[in-house]
Amino acid sequence: MARQRANIIVRLAVLCVAVFLVFSAVNMQFRLSELREDKAQLEEELAVLEDRLIYMQLRLDAPITDEYIRRIAREKLNYRDPDEILFYNDLAD
């Protein structure tokens, strides 16, 4: 009887370990899936930032000409030429 009871305890312990291992494996698969999604999102953000960095570097490397100064004055400071009339469209698309 004692031997049979010990056998049941061993089987129960093995079953608990097996259930724990299966649960851990499933949990790790979900976590791995989440991490892969995060990695893909971060790689996409990195690509966008690298493109922006290249664009900014090209703008920094561009020579400062009169046309460049005129373009920056128009874009950033909303300047205009003396004989130019600006029209703004405030209507929503």
Could you report the per-residue pLDDT of 64-74, keeping only the tens digit for each?
A: 888 888 888 88
**Residue corresponding to tokens 């703004």:** 88
Return the closest-CA partner of residue 11 out of 46, 3, 74, 85. Answer: 3
pLDDT at 29 over 90: yes
Residue 25 lies in a domain: yes
Residue 18 lies in a domain: yes
Q: What is the pTM of this model?
A: 0.54
Tens digit of each residue's pLDDT (9 = 90 or more) over 31-71: 999 999 999 999 999 999 999 999 999 988 888 888 888 88
Residue 33 lies in a domain: yes
Structure confidence at residue 70 (pLDDT): 86
Rounded Cα distance, 51 and 57, in Å: 10
Domain count of the fold of the chain: 1
**Please, what is the average pLDDT of the chain?**
90
